[in-house]
């Protein structure tokens, strides 16, 4: 049975609705493209089904075990397998490769709900989308069917290998080199902070192919698909991070790794544009994950404020606490609108760089603010591991760092904004 058929049947069972369509055509996303149709906040029945399925999975299966995974740092393979069975993974993979072919908007709805359960689990799942995206946007038919197709046949991970020990925000500073020898490229270098690095079946890898140190980034780098079991690949130890601890993060060394020329995406020199183009598609889901965490923090804080009593009444009745909850709610709602606009732009077929960076920057910031405020509402209990909000506070920080720091997003936003006036 194909993964697509299994996912359809599973969703039918859970939601109690008949399956309709897995089309990612823009017209299904907020009425884009329908003549005379205006803006709408109403989700389609299909979108509601995916949202409900992801929410049920998060509440019933992720939340009960999230604290244990955080404590042990163990990779959440049983949850990943379950998410795959439910059709909640690899949502971007085209139908031509056996996937569901969902739009960015649907992917974000799913991501927010998974992140509500645990952002460590959500990051492990969402990292697949980042690894796949260069192949989706730049791979030829053979590459897509070979590498995306296999991910629809069984639960399998991939990874996005760009960051290096000395090159994070400064992508143009990448030192990993790929030298062409006959029909192959020989890759040497080191990557760092690679999510799913020790679990991936294959990697998207960005390497320098131009021998000219003064070559512009737009021509100096090439994107490759690299099989994870290739000779010469050395996978480092799992890093124990501040938060999202069950996500697998590692350094990877490439020593004389041979990659066939058939695994080059588009052409030599096109890698930088491919890598940056992937971020426009994946930053909205990252923002959605941050919103999911913030919503969880808000809900936990609200429930606690209704139960905890001081001075003879629930603390929610103290204006200081109720106003804090109001501020948290405002931030969650506005951040959700930001990621939905960014995803909407993708599905409309428009360049969304400006909106993607706004969504990522704002959602990352408010996730940290809301999680911190939740700890404050819990008081001393919030500082204790027996309560859920300290984990949320630790998990939130990475949203201001990975897939482009909060500062890089502001640079992009400023560039795009000012560019409108210079055009």
Residues marked as catalytic: 403
CA nearest to 43, candidates 54, 14, 10, 35: 54
Contacts of the segment 62-70: beta carbons below 8 A, 24+ positions apart = 62/114, 62/117, 62/118, 62/121, 63/117, 63/118, 66/117, 66/118, 66/120, 66/121, 66/391, 67/385, 67/388, 67/391, 69/118, 69/120, 69/121, 69/245, 69/246, 70/118, 70/120, 70/245, 70/246, 70/391
CA nearest to 106, candidates 56, 59, 50, 30: 50
* CA–CA dist 163, 241 (Å, integer): 16
**Rounded CA Rg of the chain:** 22
User: Phi and psi of 86, rounded to 5°?
Assistant: -80, -5
Angle between helices 353-378 and 319-347 in degrees, nearest 10: 160
- Other C-beta atoms closer than 10 Å to the C-beta of 112 total 30
Angle between helices 389-396 and 353-378 in degrees, nearest 10: 150
Angle between helices 389-396 and 63-72 in degrees, nearest 10: 60
First-residue to last-residue Cα distance in the chain? 53
């Amino acid at each position: 049975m194909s993964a697509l058929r299994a996912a359809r049947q599973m969703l039918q069972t859970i939601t109690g609705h008949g399956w309709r369509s897995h089309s990612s055509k823009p017209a299904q996303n907020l009425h884009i493209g329908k003549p005379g149709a205006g803006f709408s906040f109403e989700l389609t029945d299909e979108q509601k089904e995916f949202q409900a399925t992801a929410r049920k999975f998060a509440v019933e299966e992720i939340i009960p075990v999230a604290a244990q995974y955080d404590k042990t740092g163990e990779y959440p393979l049983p949850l990943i397998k379950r998410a795959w069975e439910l059709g909640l993974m690899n949502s971007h993979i085209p139908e031509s490769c056996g996937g569901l072919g969902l739009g960015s908007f649907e992917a974000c709805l799913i991501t927010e709900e998974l992140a509500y359960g645990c952002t460590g689990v959500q990051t492990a799942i969402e990292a697949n989308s980042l690894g796949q995206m260069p192949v989706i946007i730049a791979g030829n038919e053979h590459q897509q069917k070979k590498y995306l197709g296999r991910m629809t046949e069984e639960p399998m991970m991939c990874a996005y290998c760009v960051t290096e020990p000395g090159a994070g925000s400064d992508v143009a500073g990448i030192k990993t080199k790929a030298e062409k020898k006959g029909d192959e490229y020989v890759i040497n270098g080191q990557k760092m902070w690679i999510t799913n690095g020790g679990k991936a079946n294959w990697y998207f890898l960005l390497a320098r192919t131009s021998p000219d140190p003064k070559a512009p980034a737009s021509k100096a780098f090439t994107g490759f698909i690299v099989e994870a079991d290739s000779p010469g690949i050395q996978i480092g130890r799992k890093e124990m991070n501040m938060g999202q601890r069950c996500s697998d993060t590692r350094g990877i060394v490439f020593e004389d790794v041979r990659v066939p020329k058939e695994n080059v995406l588009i052409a030599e020199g096109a890698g930088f544009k491919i890598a940056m183009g992937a971020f426009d598609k994946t930053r909205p889901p990252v923002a959605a994950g941050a919103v999911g965490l913030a919503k969880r923090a808000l809900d936990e804080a609200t429930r606690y404020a209704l139960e905890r009593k001081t001075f003879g009444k629930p603390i929610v009745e103290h204006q200081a606490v109720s106003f804090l909850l109001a501020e948290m709610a405002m931030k969650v709602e506005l951040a959700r609108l930001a990621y939905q606009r960014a995803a909407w732009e993708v599905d409309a077929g428009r360049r969304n760089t400006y909106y993607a960076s706004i969504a990522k920057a704002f959602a990352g910031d408010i996730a940290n603010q809301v999680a911190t405020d939740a700890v404050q509402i819990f008081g001393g209990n919030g500082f204790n591991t027996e309560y859920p909000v300290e984990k949320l506070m630790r998990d939130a920080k990475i949203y201001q760092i990975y897939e482009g720091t909060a500062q890089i997003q502001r640079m992009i936003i400023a560039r795009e904004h000012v560019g409108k006036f210079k055009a």
